Amino acid sequence: MGRFGDYQNEIYIAGLHGHQPRLPIRFEEMQAKAHAVLPASLVSYVAGGCGNERTQDANVAAFDGWGLVPRMFVGATERDLSIDLFGLKFPTPIFMSPIGVIGLCAQDGHGDLATARAASQTGVPMVASTLTVDPLEDVAKALDPTPGFFQLYTPTDRELAESLVHRAEAAGFKAIVVTLDTWLTGWRPRDLSTASFPQLRGLCLANYFSDPRFRAQLARPPEQDLQAATMQWARVFGNPLTWDDLPWLRSLTRLPLLIKGICHPDDARRAIDGGVDGIYCSNHGGRQANGGLAALDMLPGIVAAAGKVPVLFDSGVRTGTDVIKALAMGAAAVGIGRPYAYGLAVGGVAGIVHVLRCLLAEADLYMAVDGYPRIAELRPDMLRRVAR
């Protein structure tokens, strides 16, 4: 992708030839377009959150509470946005957060593959959800050559969990991300109002339906009895893990193990003592609990507790400047969620690539203008609270 900020030159030069951007630049416009093309049940599933959605609004608003102090006479003509994570080098500091049902957001119903292709084209890694339309092996193939991570919703059946992790390893995923905050679903009024929950309709369950352990427990295969298979999925889906389960989780893989949903420094410390390789600070985009605390406000405490262990972050990132602020607070990598789902809905693979390029261009130009050529120079003391 060259220098990320150059995306604006491409756009302006195309304008000289009479071409306006086909895809929206601003998140709000992309969201509005996506809402116009997606079926109503998917709009409520993707856009909706828990309760009256104060947490998801707070996630976004929290970024407005911080500003980066501009530095001059730096001449930041070259910016380095690359990061090292678990021994891998990534060209950018962002990744695509796991989104179950992303499969359904694509016009052709194969959004997991589209996301993987966008990762392949951009070098921005995808964290593939457990809940996909296409099996994880197919997603892994489409990711190549960009490394990807596999996100695990830990089932109550330990053998099924082991099978999923071993399949992810065999498929070439480079880390396992265990999501802790979704062993049951939070109270989501938008979905409740339409009585719609895609998985209960047998959708996005390919990883289960293709799993030998899962299939062995069915009287008839999912192709013959979708309802029974779906009910079996509902029985095994959510495991209310406790600290006693951590040694077992750790034993599942030699790949880097990350835990997602961490918001308290004590939880971060204890998990690191238990052998995890990365902490993923997130409140699931406000979809799970409506406690009102923005994930960004939790990030500095988690970074301090984690020490040298990398902290990944998501929840509320909408712009390139948001990415930079999270990095300045100490995030090792920043997750993009709903923005790429909307890009996919509107423009397929090209739509995701466009969203990622816009975020990266804005981040890159922000670093250029404000005089921060390297991520290491984005430190917490360069951020100031914004008085309201």
CA dihedral 8, 346, 121, 337 (to 10 degrees): 90
Instruction: Name the DSSP letter for residue 20.
Output: P
The distance of closest approach from Cβ of residue 224 to ligand FNR in the complex, given in angstroms and rounded to an integer, is 27
Non-local CB neighbours of 280 within 8 Å, separated by 6+ positions: 177, 258, 259, 260, 261, 262, 311, 312, 313, 314, 335
- Active-site positions? 284
Virtual torsion, Cα 6, 350, 341, 323, nearest 10 deg: -10
Query: Minimal distance in Å, beta carbon 207 to ligand FNR?
Result: 11
- Of 325, 311, 338, give the one whose Cα is nearest residue 370: 325
Q: Kindly write out the interface string for residues 273-312 of this chain, putting x where it contacts ligand FNR by CB under 6 A and - elsewhere.
A: ---------x-xx-x-------------------------
- The yes or no reply on residue 98 touching ligand FNR (CB under 6 A) is yes
Q: Is the distance from CB of 302 to CB of 331 less than 8 angstroms? A: no
Minimum distance from residue 29 beta carbon to ligand FNR (Å)? 17
Measured torsion, CA atoms of residues 218, 221, 226, 227, in degrees rounded to the nearest 10: -20
Q: Which is nearer to ligand FNR, 260 or 357 (CB)?
A: 260
Helices 320-328, 295-306: crossing angle, 10 deg rounding: 40
Select from 12-20, 92-100, 158-166, 305-313 the region that touches ligand FNR (CB under 6 A): 92-100
Q: Which stretch binds ligand FNR (CB under 6 A): 18-26, 91-99, 108-116, 248-256?
A: 91-99
Binding pattern for the stretch 129-168 against ligand FNR, x by CB under 6 A and - elsewhere: x-x-------------------x-----------------
Spatial neighbors of 219 by CB under 8 A, at least 6 apart, are 225, 228
Kindly write out the interface string for residues 239-268 of this chain, putting x where it contacts ligand FNR by CB under 6 A and - elsewhere.
---------------------x--------
Among 338, 362, 370, 375, binds ligand FNR (CB under 6 A): 338
Nearer to ligand FNR, 50 or 306 (CB): 50
- Alpha-carbon distances, residue 286 vs 95, 313, 322 (angstroms): 19, 14, 17
| Minimum distance, C-beta of residue 56 to ligand FNR, in the bound complex (Å) | 6
Give me the residues paired with residue 179 across strands.
260
Q: How far is the CB of 286 from ligand FNR (least distance, A)?
A: 7
**Binding ligand FNR by CB under 6 A: which of 31, 55, 92, 97?**
97
Q: Which is nearer to ligand FNR, 50 or 229 (CB)?
A: 50
Q: Which CB, 97 or 290, lies closer to ligand FNR?
A: 97
Nearest-CA neighbor of 260 among 351, 176, 157, 341?
Answer: 176
Interactions with ligand FNR, residue window 28-57 (CB under 6 A): 45-46, 56
Measured between alpha carbons, how far is residue 48 from residues 25, 42, 44, 45, 233 in Å?
A: 22, 9, 5, 6, 23
E strand map for 164-296: 176-179, 257-260, 278-281
Q: Which chain residues interact with ligand FNR by CB under 6 A?
A: 45-46, 56, 59, 97-101, 129, 131, 151, 179, 260, 282, 284-285, 287, 314-317, 337-338
